[in-house]
């Protein structure tokens, strides 16, 4: 995690560092990402980076947490209490993810790479832990929705969680398959990922969430 030196930087300087580092890790897998490129882009001494973070992994973990917080803040505007139906709420969470991608493209591209492109053994443990945390969150969701009637109480929670996670992952995989060229081009050109397929993405989400609802409601 960042040192006090980093946290005490002027806001503009700290944000410039974050965005430069995010771009490097969003453009490259962990093993290929270069601290030297970040240093060169910022025109700072090499020692400065290590005054801010212990090492490359420390920086990657900070960027991961930073990006997750940005996305969480974004989707928190979708208030569950305003929905009578969990499935409409769940659908809107996915759609909100598109808006996050457009408004915070660096964070979005970085998280996308972690979820779908990253293969480094150095960060595998943290990605696995990420998935465990997601499962824990969905377990709480399912139990709550069983209590309020959005999911059948007779459905086994663990099975429901696995089903929802699998279907959620399928949405990402389907979009990747159908729009692989567009996504790869956008990754390379630093565009938001889904600008060329927003309406189709929304239709895909709607159809898959309906399948989930039919199975679990």
Q: Is-contact 75 53, C-beta < 8 A? A: no
Share of the chain above pLDDT 90, in %: 38
Q: How far apart are CA 121 and CA 30, in angstroms?
A: 9
Q: Is the pLDDT score of 21 beyond 60?
A: yes
Residue 189: pLDDT band (50, 70, 90) is: low
pLDDT of residue 209: 85
**For residues 84-91, average pLDDT:** 88
| Average predicted confidence (pLDDT) for the chain | 86
pTM as predicted = 0.83
* Half-sphere exposure (Cβ direction) of 111: Cα atoms closer than 13 Å: 23
**For residues 90-117, average pLDDT:** 85
Helices (H), 28-156: 35-42, 46-52, 56-75, 86-103, 105-112, 121-148
Domain residue extents for the chain: 4-216
Q: Is the pLDDT score of 52 beyond 60?
A: yes
Q: Is-contact 98 194, C-beta < 8 A? A: yes
For domain 4-216, the question of CATH label 1.10.10.60 is answered with: no
Per residue in 113-157, pLDDT (tens digit) is 888 788 899 999 999 998 898 899 889 989 999 998 889 889 999
């Amino acid at each position: 995690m960042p040192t006090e030196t980093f946290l005490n930087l002027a806001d503009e300087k700290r944000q410039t560092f974050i965005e430069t580092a995010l771009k490097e890790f969003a453009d490259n897998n962990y093993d290929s990402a270069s601290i030297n490129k970040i240093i060169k882009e910022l025109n700072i001494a090499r020692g400065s980076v290590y005054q801010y973070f212990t090492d490359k992994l420390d920086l990657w973990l900070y960027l991961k947490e930073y990006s997750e917080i940005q996305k969480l803040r974004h989707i928190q505007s979708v208030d569950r209490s305003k929905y009578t139906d969990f499935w409409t709420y769940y659908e809107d969470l996915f759609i909100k993810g598109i808006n996050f991608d457009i408004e915070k493209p660096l964070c979005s591209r970085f998280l996308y790479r972690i979820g779908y492109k990253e293969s480094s053994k150095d960060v595998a443990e943290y990605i696995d832990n990420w998935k465990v945390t997601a499962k824990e969150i969905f377990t709480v969701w399912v139990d709550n929705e069983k209590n309020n009637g959005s999911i059948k109480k007779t459905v086994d929670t663990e099975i429901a969680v696995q089903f929802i996670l699998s279907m959620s992952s399928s949405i990402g995989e389907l979009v990747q398959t159908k729009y692989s060229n567009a996504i790869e081009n956008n990754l390379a050109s630093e565009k938001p990922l889904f600008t060329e397929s927003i309406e189709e993405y929304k239709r895909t989400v709607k159809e898959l969430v309906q399948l989930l609802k039919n199975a679990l409601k």
